[in-house]
Amino acid sequence: SFSEAEVQSARGAWEKIYVDAEDNGTAVLIRMFTEHPDTKSYFTHFKGMDNAEEMKQSDQVRGHGKRVFTAINDMVQHLDNTEAFLGILNPLGQKHATQLKIDPKNFRIICDIILQLMEEKFGGDCKASFEKVTNEICTHLTNIYK
Ligand code: HEM
């Protein structure tokens, strides 16, 4: 669980990147798809996935980037309430495990890209303030597979 101070600094860090949720969510996905091309295998129904320029223009990629960031934002609003936090994370994890069959190693990959983008855009303190959140998300998502 998170201390009051951790909740405040994590929220402050997240607000910086969430202001541009669609652009930043899309940037995270494009980096995942280009640096880890095997992740594209889950999105064969998305068109225009051949290169970063195409992906940037894709309504499907942009919509999904926004969706992923909105889900994280919902979790960030409930860091001070473990039950509510898990109430958002668990059903999402169930869907990724059973229906989408996502290899759980990919959760660490996408979370590390989010942290990387935070550091590039807003500096090391921003990244450091959000690391515990991504750790919690990855741990819980991965535990659902056990
Ligand atoms: C769908 C969030 C990681 C692949 C979704 C949805 C959300 C979401 C909110 C929509 C669920 C719905 O429609 O009910 C997240 C979050 C992640 C994460 C918060 C981690 C922080 C991943 C990873 C992959 C992945 C690592 C694969 C590499 C998918 C796929 C869909 C999906 C294939 C369905 C897309 C579609 O058909 O529109 N995700 N996701 N997700 N996610 Fe994730």
The string of pLDDT tens digits covering residues 78-104 is 999 999 999 999 999 999 999 999 999
Ligand 1 in reach of 96 Cβ (< 6 A): yes
- What's the pLDDT at 29? 98
Ligand 1 in reach of 95 Cβ (< 6 A): yes
- Cβ atoms of residues 132 and 141 within 8 Å: no
With cut-offs at 50, 70 and 90, classify the pLDDT of residue 1: confident
Whole-structure pTM value: 0.97
* Mean local confidence (pLDDT), 55-82: 97
Ligand 1 in reach of 142 Cβ (< 6 A): no
In Å, what is the CA distance from 30 to each residue of 20, 75, 96, 114? 15, 23, 19, 11
Q: What is the ipTM of this complex?
A: 0.97
Residue closest by Cα to atom 13 of ligand 1: 67
Q: 3-class SS at 83?
A: helix
* Mean local confidence (pLDDT), 17-38: 98
Ligand 1 in reach of 107 Cβ (< 6 A): yes
- The rounded mean pLDDT for the chain is 97
pLDDT one-digit tens code per residue, 101-135? 999 999 999 999 999 999 999 999 999 999 999 99
